[in-house]
Each structure stands twice: as C-alpha cells, then as structure tokens.
Amino acid sequence: MFCLQCGRENEELFKGLCNTCFVAQNSLITLPQESDVELCTHCRSIHDGKKWQELNLSEEDIIKKIVSEKCIPDKEAKEVTLTLEIINQKGSVQDLLVLAKGTVLDQPLERECSVRVNINRTTCPECSKFFSGYYEAVIQLRADERPLKPEEIQNADKIISKRLEKLLRNNKMAYLSQRAELKEGVDYYFGSYKAARKISITLKDQMGGTIKESPRLMGRDKSTGKDLFRIWISLRLPSFEKEDFLAYGNHIGQVMDMKGDKIVLRDLDTMEMTSLPWREYSQLEIVAKREDIRTTTITSKTPKSIQLLHPENFQPHDLDILPDLAFLKIGDQVKVVEIKEKLYILHPQEKKRK
C-alpha cells in the first residue's frame, strides 16, 4: 500500500493517505464564510435562525460567540481552541480572523481563516411591544364602597415599583406601560401577565382585600392563529380599615390586622383574637368605624362589674367585667365604643405593651 498523495510506501494509511499527508490536508475546523444575525439595539438580544435570546454580552462578544457556535471541528481533530479577532468593521459588516489550534493524529495543528458576520440592527419583538405601550394585563386597584385613600395609593405604587425591579431581572416584559388614576381607583398596565399576577398577590398580601381575574378576548394573533386575551385583575381593598368594628355571626370584633389570607379580629365580648378568611368578606358588616372610639373614665369597680361614664350623656354606666380587663382601676382612662346601643370597653393593648 502506498500514500495516494506522496506515494510513500509501507506507511499506516488514513483514508488512503500517510500520516503526514493526512494531517497536512486536514482543515481542523469548518466555518461558514458568512453569517447573518439580527441584533436588537435596545436589549442586545440576537435572533439566530430560530428565536430571540438575550445574552447580556457586549456586541463584540456576541459576534465572537456566534462565530464560535458555527464552528464544527473536524472528526479527527482534538482539543480544538479558537482565538477570534475582529479585523475590520464597516457598518454592519464585521470581518474576523479565526485562529484554530488543535491536534490531528496527535500532531499539533494550526489553521487560520477569515469569516464575515453581517449584523442586521433591529428591534426585537419584546422591545417593540415595550415601545408601543403593549400590555398583557391590567391591575385595577379599588376599595369596596369607598374611594381609595391617598396613603393606600402611595403604598401600592411603592410595592409595585419594588416588585417590578426584581421581576425585570428575569422577565423583560415585567414593565409598567401605563398608570391611570381614575375617580374609582388606579389602573396599572403591565407588559407581562405573569408579572402582573405576582404583583397582585404581593399587593393583596400586604394590603388585604379580594382578587378577581377576568380575561377579555382582544382578537386573534394573525401569525399564530391563537386568540389574544388580556387579563383584568381586580384587587378590591376592603370597605373597612384597621381598628374598625365588624359584626360576624353573633360576634362583634375589632379589626386588628389584615393579611393576605385572613382578617385578624379581637372579639369585644371575650377579648379573644380570632381570624377570618377573606372568602367570608361578604358576610361581614361594619358596625362602627375607628372614628367612633371615645375615651372615658372608670368611676367605680366591684369584683364583677365596672362603672364608667357614658361618653355621650355622661351618665354612670355599669358593665360586667371581663377577666382580661380585671387590671383596670378606678380613675383609669379607657377607650370605649358604642355598638347597637351597647357599650364596649376596648382592650388597652398599646398601654400594656409599654
């Protein structure tokens, strides 16, 4: 057997060639002479045939990455490394010098070639959506049977911008495209439904209330043939506020706290804390507001009863004493509330804490 290239005899042959000729004709790598890539000038995402992806790289590194990914090492090549250098930039045309190093049949080998990358600078679909004010979901912040308070709006604004900042790190569509303050509340428009949904849950966790989602059909996506929906998320803050008084079943309680999953109440007849899920919201009735709380003085006390002056008519008024209030003394100032013609002493919680 002899080498087809140089004719040398008695050699081990690779595809009809001797070791030296085989290595000499090996190209080490295959690279397309020219590649095209779409690059979003706003977020530097690239579109390489199939889909857009965000790389968080400089333009130069993006170009090098594209070339490296197109490089196919030869079957016999091992330990191939590439060194890339941009040698010419003219507008959208980038010429690169590629130096490939590796081994073929255990012999070190170097190959050099030049390739061209054509960059088509454009705006990716997500960035165009952002610039056109596109939105997938709207959070409608309202309060039940009352207008929103300015401090509630401020609080919601703060919660939303903090949450968006975090969400934006992983979701380019997590932006607020519009905020509309209306008579009945505030509408927040979000690029991403997923982000809007997470935000609505955070708002409810921190401010209480009830959430309802309703999709609205907006038309049809011409390219995919799918129905296009936008989601309206209604977050309704409760009609009552902290420290207001509610009737629930046969009980009367003062709202001590509102959390995402429950309303915490102190029962005025027993001073015990209880909590109710938000789904009971429609069963609750406001029987007094925190503005109805009055202050009065204890005038007399027996082991079983306590006497105080009625805050409106200043007549002595006797009440059974609750074990939790047994520490009260004659002359103490207490907060009271009158509900359905019955006077209740409120737990002086703040005083006790000091």
**46 sits near Zn ion (criterion: CB under 5 A):** no
**113 sits near Zn ion (criterion: CB under 5 A):** no
**3 sits near Zn ion (criterion: CB under 5 A):** yes
**86 sits near Zn ion (criterion: CB under 5 A):** no
Q: Which is nearer to Zn ion, 45 or 200 (CB)?
A: 45
**5 sits near Zn ion (criterion: CB under 5 A):** yes
Q: What share of the chain is helix, strand, coil (3-state, %, to 5)?
A: 20, 45, 35
**194 sits near Zn ion (criterion: CB under 5 A):** no
Q: Which is nearer to Zn ion, 5 or 27 (CB)?
A: 5
Binding-residue pattern over the window 114 to 153 for Zn ion, x denoting contact by CB under 5 A: ----------x--x--------------------------
Residue 125: CB minimum distance to Zn ion, A: 8
CA atoms 60, 47, 126, 211: torsion sign: negative
Q: Which is nearer to Zn ion, 6 or 330 (CB)?
A: 6
Q: Which is nearer to Zn ion, 5 or 210 (CB)?
A: 5
Distance of CA 120 to the CA centre of its chain: 32
Beta bridge partners of 139: 188, 233
Helix (H/G/I), strand (E/B), else coil: 229: strand
- Residue 3 is given by DSSP the state -
Select from 21, 186, 199, 203 the one that contacts Zn ion (CB under 5 A).
Answer: 21
Residues 339, 245: contact at Cβ < 8 Å?
yes
Q: Which is nearer to Zn ion, 124 or 263 (CB)?
A: 124
Residues 160, 199: contact at Cβ < 8 Å?
yes
Residues 276, 208: contact at Cβ < 8 Å?
no
Q: How far apart are CA 42 and CA 73, in angstroms?
A: 34
Select from 1, 2, 6, 99 the one that contacts Zn ion (CB under 5 A).
Answer: 6
Select from 29, 37, 40, 109 the one that contacts Zn ion (CB under 5 A).
Answer: 40
Select from 13, 24, 43, 321 the one that contacts Zn ion (CB under 5 A).
Answer: 43
Residue 184: CB minimum distance to Zn ion, A: 35
Q: How far apart are CA 185 and CA 100, in angstroms?
A: 64
Residue 352: CB minimum distance to Zn ion, A: 58
Q: How far apart are CA 195 and CA 137, in angstroms?
A: 9
Return the closest-CA partner of residue 229 out of 218, 240, 238, 220. Answer: 218
Q: Which is nearer to Zn ion, 108 or 125 (CB)?
A: 125
Task: Classify strands 333-339 and 305-309 as parallel, antiparallel or unpaired.
Answer: unpaired
**23 sits near Zn ion (criterion: CB under 5 A):** no
Binding interface with Zn ion (CB under 5 A) = 3, 5-6, 18, 21, 40, 42-43, 45, 124, 127
